Structures are given as structure tokens and as C-alpha cells.
A = this chain, B = another copy of it.
Amino acid sequence: MAGKKFSEKHRLVYYDGDRTYHASIPMLVNLMVLASEDQSEQLGVGTSEVMKYGVGWVVTQYVMEIAKLPKIGTTIQLGTEATARNKFFCERHFSVTDDQGQTLMRVNSNFVLMNHKTRRMGNLIPELVDPYGSDEVKRLARLPRVRKIPDDQQEVMVKTYPVRYFDLDTNGHVNNSHYFEWLLDVLPADFLQTHMPTRLNIQYHKEIQYGHVVTSQAIKTTDEKGNMQTLHKMLVNGETYCEAECTWQSL
């Protein structure tokens, strides 16, 4: 598989980080999306071009493998590449590399084109995807499913998050990175301060909007290898909008 590669550098500054002195996951998501937006601009299919077709790119899933979170004060290289596509889905890879060339994170993701009027996904539009040079395939390798919180689960951590005005992007959509804030903030602060995510799989089912109150649920469990794991669900009015699983190690 091969598409055009793009990369850019970013200096991680104080507001990119959290108490562990590492870049926060929400900010790393911002930076990955920025790399893909900058690639799109470079290829002549940036936001303004995409909007002419009455559509917009929407992520449906991210699977992140995190070897090490980058430290604040360092400069990272953000890489991205649209690797493959079928009729509806694009697969896009991201990477985060430190200034020694060591890979810190590898991310796989799926994107679709959503129609702005109908709020539904549609066929990919050749004019908008051809420039990336990704492989056209019949079947895309399916990303692993997210493990669900069992229905009979007793002890669920829960917090609610009304969507804020500043959660909205320039295009009026909830910025992707805020899902990760709602997802992670529900965990106790002393856990977040002493643990690092090593794998995060997040699936977006429906679009959260301004006016919504997000209920973020999480449970602690272990994965099949005995690693610490948290399972997550975000609901609006009792309906599931987003699910995620996260594997952790002690810092």
C-alpha cells in the first residue's frame, strides 16, 4: 500500500502538555489532524475545495499504538499518508517521531465523506481522493472492534460534559480532540498522573453537536494479556455516540 507521504515538525510547548510533562492525547490528535489538513492544502484539496462539494471529512475510527508519549519541550515530526480506499472509506496512517527519528506513535484511521445537508456519509468523490495517491481496493482491512462495557456492569465511572462553544471548530463541528478529553477526564486524576496509554481504539458512531450534554462512562478491567485496560462509552440522551478502549502501563 502506498499514498503520498507528508510530514511536518512541531515544537511541543507548555499548553500542549499535561501534568506528566508529556504531550496530551487531545493535543496529539489536534496535531495529527493538522498534518492531514496541511497535506490536503498542499495537494489542492483543502477545506475550501472539499466544501464546494457540500461534504466534509469525518473520522470514524482511530487505533493508536503508543510506544512513548513525547515530552514537552521537544520537537516532533508528524507524518501522515492516505494508504488505501474503497467506495466509502479512506484508510489513513499517522506517525509521531522524535528528533532522533524514533517512532513514538503509530496510528491507523478510517475517514468518510459526510454530506453537510443530509449529515450522512456518501460515496468517496474521485476529485477529492485521487490527489492523495492511495490504493483503490475492493476491501479495506477492517480495524479491530472496540471491546464494549458489559450491560450488567456494576461500578461505572461517569461524568457529564455539556458541549462548550469553544469545543467547536471554525467549521462549527465539535473538534475531534475534545472527545478524548471527555473520554479520559472521567478517570481519576491520580490514575492519569501515574499511567500512560499504550493503545487506544476509538470508534465514532454519531456526531456530537453543540447543545448536547455528553455522558462519559468508563470501567477498569484487564485485556486478554492481563494488561490494565479501561473501556469507555459516550452517550447523548441515552444513545451511544462513541466507544473506546484504552490499554495502560504505569509511568
Residues of B within 8 Å of A184, CB to CB, are 165-166
In contact, B168 and A18 (Cβ under 8 angstroms): yes
Q: How many copies does the complex hold?
A: 2
Chain A interface main SS type = mixed
* Interface residue? A2 (CB, 8 A): no
In contact, B189 and A17 (Cβ under 8 angstroms): no
* Interface residue? A53 (CB, 8 A): no
Most buried by B among A33, A72, A181, A189: A189
* Interface residue? A13 (CB, 8 A): yes
For A160, the closest partner residue in chain B by CB is B162
* A184 CA to B167 CA, complexed, in Å: 12
In contact, B175 and A19 (Cβ under 8 angstroms): no
Within the complex, the shortest CB–CB distance from A248 to chain B, in Å, comes to 15
Q: Which of B13, B14, B165, B177 meets A18, CB within 8 Å?
A: B165
* Interface residue? A102 (CB, 8 A): no
- In chain A, positions 9-26 with a C-beta closer than 8 Å to chain B are 13-15, 17-19, 21, 24, 26
Q: Contacts A189-B210, A210-B189 known; A14 to B166 CB distance under 8 Å?
A: no
Q: Contacts A15-B30, A169-B17, A210-B189 known; A164 to B181 CB distance under 8 Å?
A: yes
* A34 CA to B164 CA, complexed, in Å: 24
* Interface residue? A54 (CB, 8 A): no
Most buried by B among A17, A37, A184, A187: A17
The 3 closest A-B pairs by CB, nearest first: A15-B30, A164-B185, A17-B170
